[in-house]
Amino acid sequence: MALSFNDLLAPLKPDRFFSDVQDMQPVHLSEAAPARSEILSWASFNRALEALPVWNRSNLRLFMDQRPVLPPFYCNGPDGSGRADPAKVMSFLGMGASVIAAQMEDASPGVRAVVKTLGETLGAKVSANVYCSFQGVQAFGSHYDPTDVLVVQTEGEKRWRIYQGRAQHPSEALPPGDATARYYEANKGGLAQELTLRSGEALYLPRGQYHDALAMSGPSLHVTFSIEPLTGLDLFDLAKEVARHDPEFRKWIPDHRLQGGAPTSEVLSRLAGKAASLIQAAGVRNAVERAQLKRGEQPGGYDLPAVRPPQWYQVNAARVRLVRTIDGDRLEAGTGGQTHDLGAAGDAAAFLLQNQTISWEGLSAEHGYLGQERLKGLVEFLLSVGALVKARTD
């Protein structure tokens, strides 16, 4: 059963999450929700781990006493580059190791459904790690994560400690090692909150919030969903693509040694003013929307045995012109003066017009992040001006 965003946050209301919680403060969702505990059970976790080709040293890690177990000890092959061996993994777990299974959305339908919900709702890149540990075991010391996290306890219970310290909007994880561990200890601050997360409960932590966790009584299973929206750093890459449409940004910059650097300074000053306007232009806003939609997109599923022939179209690109400027993308019909504002669909229009024939299914597969309605609007406009013609499917 797919969980809605409301289900995941219950009893916290989404509007309060966005106004008072997101990227601001930790929140313990202490009201146990059966739907949350059903995301991943011991039985479904076992089935996911038995998908042998999926697991290797890159996505299945073992830890003992807060230190990693070297892959050759639990993965096949002389250098540990082969599959994780279930018997070896179980042996280490029997000795008190913890297992961290990364990218669990690739192996668990329940986890994948939550990743899809979070990604689409938050316009963020979302991934899921599963932590399996046992009584008194702590896989990691105090640390912070460079993403927001939503922790869902699905089996057993775990004790969490949240500290007063918070790193200021970290963009990447620090390298593992003793020096990093000492840095964390020196900067985590005093204990702000201690809580026990039980099956069906959840915990939201904003990125940079120092914390640690310890399995208390018996085995514990929880899923950590890492949530990574766009940042201002991403804006530079998005704006660069839009800036290509302005010839001023494509000009050479004078050598800094000429005339004491005066020509260089003049160009930089002029471009700085244009860059400020560019960031606020419709083209960049559309690029941001497109990037957020893509971040939240997840692969589609199957609905066998229901199948149907694809709907094909003949493309007559000469009937329209794709105009891409810093003020946004649009289609202009060759006759009649009709235009179609593309918004975030500029890449989809460019993809479509590069083909001689295209199917609706192919367009949806490539640009499904836009949603069916927006893609239908694009196709309907192209049909109305003769740039697309339906091909017979019989």
Contact indicator for 135, 22 with CB cutoff of 8 Å: no
Clarify whether residues 189 and 253 are in a common domain. no
Name the residue among 128, 101, 130, 124 with its Cα closest to residue 113.
128
Structure tokens at 259: 């005339």
Clarify whether residues 250 and 214 are in a common domain. no
- Mean pLDDT along residues 191-214: 95
Clarify whether residues 193 and 242 are in a common domain. no
- Inside any domain, residue 173: yes
pLDDT tops 90 at residue 54: no
Clarify whether residues 243 and 221 are in a common domain. no
What pLDDT score does 283 carry? 94
245 alpha carbon, distance to own chain's centre:
28
> Which residue bears the tokens 């018996």?
218
- Mean pLDDT along residues 345-362: 95
Those residues whose C-beta lies under 8 Å from the C-beta of residue 266, and which sit 6 or more positions away, are none
Say how far apart CA 266 and CA 381 lie, in whole Å. 44
Clarify whether residues 262 and 215 are in a common domain. no
What pLDDT score does 78 carry? 86
What single-letter DSSP state applies at residue 142? S
* pTM (two decimals): 0.90
Helix (H) or strand (E) holding 162: strand 157-166
Number of domains in the chain: 3
- Mean pLDDT along residues 336-362: 93
At 98-145, the pLDDT tens digits run 999 999 999 999 999 999 999 999 999 999 999 999 876 666 789 999
Clarify whether residues 14 and 159 are in a common domain. yes
Clarify whether residues 198 and 106 are in a common domain. yes
What pLDDT score does 10 carry? 92
Give residue 225's identity as a one-letter amino acid code. F
Q: What residues make up the domain containing 243?
A: 232-280
At 22-47, the pLDDT tens digits run 999 999 999 888 889 999 999 999 99
Name the residue among 382, 370, 375, 373 with its Cα closest to residue 340.
382
At 249-270, the pLDDT tens digits run 999 999 999 999 999 999 999 9
Contact indicator for 384, 340 with CB cutoff of 8 Å: no
What is the percentage of the chain residues whose pLDDT exceeds 90?
82
What pLDDT score does 108 carry? 93
